[in-house]
Amino acid sequence: MMSSCKRRLCFLSFLSLLSSLCDCHPHVSRMVGARAASNQTARKVSHIAEEVAGYTDVAKQIIDLAVYGAAQNRSYRRLADFTDTVGNRVSGSQNLEMAIKYMYKAMTQDGLDVHLEPVKIPHWMRGKESAEMISPRVKKLAILGLGSSVGTPPEGIESEVLVVQSFEELKKRSSEAVGKIVVFNQPFVSYGLTVAYRAFGASEAAKVGAVATLIRSITPFSINSPHTGWQDYQDGVKQIPTACITVEDAELMWRMAQRGQKIVVRLTMEAKTLPDADSFNTVAEIKGWQHPEQVVLLSGHLDSWDVGQGAMDDGGGAMISWEALSLIKDLGLRPRRTLRTVLWTGEEQGGVGAQQYFNLHKVNLSNFDLVMESDLGTFTPVALQFTGSDSARKVMEEVVQLLAPINTTKLEAHGEGTDISPWMQAGVPAASLHVADSRYFWFHHSEGDTMTVQNPQDMNLCSALWAVVAYVVADLEKMLDR
C-alpha cells in the first residue's frame, strides 16, 4: 500500500505535468474544461432524473384518483353542472358575472383559498341580426355577427355582393367592391392562417369602399353552422358591419358568382359596443409549504362566446385547472411552492383579463416558476407542449415520464395560449395541453359548443396530466431555469 506522503507527491507531480501540458497546448486546456463541464452536466441530468423519478408513486396516486378512483368523472360533472346552470358567458354579460360568482362559491366550498382580482373588459352586445339573399333567389342566410362589429342602420343594408376568395383577389377587383357587400369565401388552411379573414376582413373591404362584409366561418367542417369570434377594426379605416356566414352559403354564393349571376343580400344587425364592464379573474390556491411566494400557475378562461354553452372553449380548460388542485388537496399533498389556478376573464377579446393580471403581478416575475394554460379542448391528451430553456426542457422531459400510466410521455415544443403569452414573452417557462383536437374547430365559437362534445374519460386523463405536472414542478428542490 502506498503511503499518504508518496500519494501526495504523485498527485502534485500529476498536477505539475497537467499544468505544463495546458500551458504548451491551449487545446488540451479546452478539452479538459469541456470534459469537466460535460461531466458536470451529465451529473446534473442524472440528479434531476433521480429526483423526478422519486415522484413515481405520488404521480400514480394522482392518476389513480382521477382516472379510476373517487374523483373519476368529477371534472366532467362539474363542467356539466356549471354550463347547464350558467350557459354561455360573453364578456360584459350578466351570465359571465354569474359564472364568476358560481366558481368563487364552488371552489371555496371545495376547501381552496379563493379570491377575485378586479379587471375591466370589453362589453359588446350582439342584438338581433339577420341576413337574407333576395336575388337570384330568396334564401335565409345563417349568420353570427363578429365581436366588436358595428351595427347596420335600423332598416338594414341591401346591396349587391362581390364574392372573393382572398385578400389578393379583393385588391385586384377593388374597383368592383365600391358600395357592395363583400363575401369572403376563403378556403380553410389552418386556424392560425385563415383567421386573418375574420380578424381583418371588414377593414380590408372598407378600404376599397365596401359597405359590409360576410365572411366564411373559420372551420374545416360545417352543418350549416356559423362560427363567431373577435374582429379588429384598423385605425383610420371606416368601420363597417361584419358577420360570419356558413361554409355552405359562402360556397353557394361563390358558385353563383362564377356563373355570372347577380347576387343581392339584405343584412340587418343591431350590434353595439358599450363602455367597458367590471369583471374579475378568479384565483384559487394551495399555498406552498416552503416557498409560498413562488408560483406554478394553471389556467383556463371562464368567458365564452354568446352561443352554445362554452363547454369546450373553455369550460373544460377551466374545470381541469380546478380539478388539478382538488386532486392534490384530496390526497393531502402540499408542494413546496404555491399552486395557483387562475380562471381568466375576457380571453375571447384578446386576453384582456390576463394582460391586466400580468401587469399587476409582473413585479414578481422571478417568482413565477411555470405558467400553464388549457384552451384547445379537453379531448384525449396527446402530449405536453413546453417553451423554456434547454435545462428546463430536460427537467420537463423527466416530468412527463411520470405520465406513462396514461401514455402521455411526449414533450413537444412551443407552449401556447393567449392568456399566458405575456409571461412567455417575458421568459417564464410555459406549458400547454396538446389533445387530439381534430374536431375542435368543428364546434369552436358556434352553437355546437355544448356538453355533447365532452367525454368524461378524456377529462379524467387531462385532469390527471395537469395535476401531476403542476404538483411535481411545484415540489422540486429548484425552480426551472430561465
- Residue (of 342, 357, 363, 373) closest to 119 by Cα position: 357
**Distance (Å, rounded) from C-alpha 230 to C-alpha 88?**
16
285 in catalytic set: no
Nearest-5° Cα angle at 44, 42 to 45? 65
Question: Cell 393580471 identifies what position?
Answer: 357
CA within 13 Å, CB half, 173: 18
CA distance 480 to 423: 14
Residues constituting the chain: 482
What is the C-alpha separation between 1 and 29, in angstroms, rounded?
32
Residue 119 vs residues 230, 252, 279, 281, 424: alpha-carbon distances, Å: 19, 43, 5, 7, 21
Q: What is the separation of C-alpha 221 from the centre of its chain, rounded to a whole number of angstroms?
A: 21
- Measure Cα distances from 135 to 75, 143, 170, 182 in Å: 50, 18, 22, 15
Q: What sign does the dihedral 95-96-100-101 (CA atoms) show? A: negative
Place of cell 333567389: 137
At 238 the three-state DSSP class reads coil
d(CA 201, CA 181): 12
From the list 347, 348, 397, 398, the catalytic residue is 347
Beta strands in 146-205 (DSSP E): 157-164, 181-184
Whole-angstrom CA distances from 381 to 162, 267, 282, 377 are: 43, 42, 25, 9
- Compute the distance between CA of residue 155 and CA of residue 228 in angstroms, rounded to an integer: 23
Active-site positions? 347
